[in-house]
Amino acid sequence: MSFLKNLFGSKTDYEELIQAGAKVFDVRTEAEFAQGHYKGSINIPLDELTRRLSTLKKEDAYIMCCRSGMRSSIARNILKSSGFINVHNAGPWTSIAK
């Protein structure tokens, strides 16, 4: 079992990260966010993320989510390429809630 875990990696425990202070950013549009979202998440649409980077602390932990995982992957890459270290892509927002 540990061989497979080492080979494929382990599933990130988003609830643990959130309890430790990670912020959840939902990068969908405002209309999509209004239809449903992870409780406590912050809506920053992907097209606004770059403009709002200066309001974020690079040392904080962030969990990115969206509808399918595509936009959250792009958002993660934007933060990583801007010097943020502790950034996670949760994929769909529904994957964060247990």
pLDDT 10s digits, 26-60: 999 999 999 999 999 999 999 999 999 999 999 99
Assigned architecture for domain 12-95: 3-Layer(aba) Sandwich (3.40)
* CA–CA dist 5, 23 (Å, integer): 26
The confidence score (pLDDT) of residue 44 equals: 98
- Confidence check: pLDDT of 65 > 50: yes
Contact 91, 72 (CB under 8 A): yes
Structure tokens at 26: 């939902």
